[in-house]
Structure 1
């Protein structure tokens, strides 16, 4: 795989923030199994919605209160009948199933990756 180098300015354009999942619900209409998440990114950014294909490693109940890392400056994306406002980040495991990116200690919602 060829890795294209980017500048620091390019990296700074991606706005990665910490948010806390307030609610998670099934999204049976999605083409691939997914949940609809509501994530609090703090007072300045607010509460945003995201669709996440994380059904293999997470139950709905265990997601509530979990802090995740999201890209908040992508344009909203229509996913079926649902408008996803942020991209919740994660990594694919050996089977291609997503494991969420998270922080090791509790942080204020809206804290930016630096």
Structure 2
């Protein structure tokens, strides 16, 4: 089990995003994310606030050392970080301006 106190949060750029209705939550999407030194996949709950096409090119914050999990048969290698809006739907967390990919949260 990963130690949450040792979790690394890094900035990545969404290279590709597509709806992932195979999960039990239709608002899920598969994201391919560039962390600067590697590309990873994340299955994230984005459908309430984002169209997958609008996520491409966006910088997001990812928890990168939690291990991978399978969601509806797809590997999710990082956790794409979000906070709930007024209705409890995730709003993705990312920098206000472009920063170097792979940068770690202080």
Superposition TM-score tier, normalisation by shorter sequence: over 0.9
Question: Residue in 1 aligned with 2:87?
Answer: 95
Partner of 1:13: 6
Pick the structure with more strand per residue.
2
Q: Which runs of 4+ in 1 moved over 4 A?
A: none
Using the alignment, how far apart are the partners of 1:22 and 1:47 within structure 2? Answer: 9
- In the alignment, what sits opposite 1:78? 70
Q: CA-atom RMSD, angstroms?
A: 1.3
- After superposition, the Cα gap between the structure-2 partners of 1:55 and 1:105, relative to the gap in structure 1 and judged at 3 Å, is same
TM-score normalised by structure 2 residue count: 0.92
Aligned length: 103
Higher Cα Rg, which structure: 1
Unaligned runs of 5+ in 1: 1-9
Q: Distance in 2 between matches of 1:53 and 1:76?
A: 16
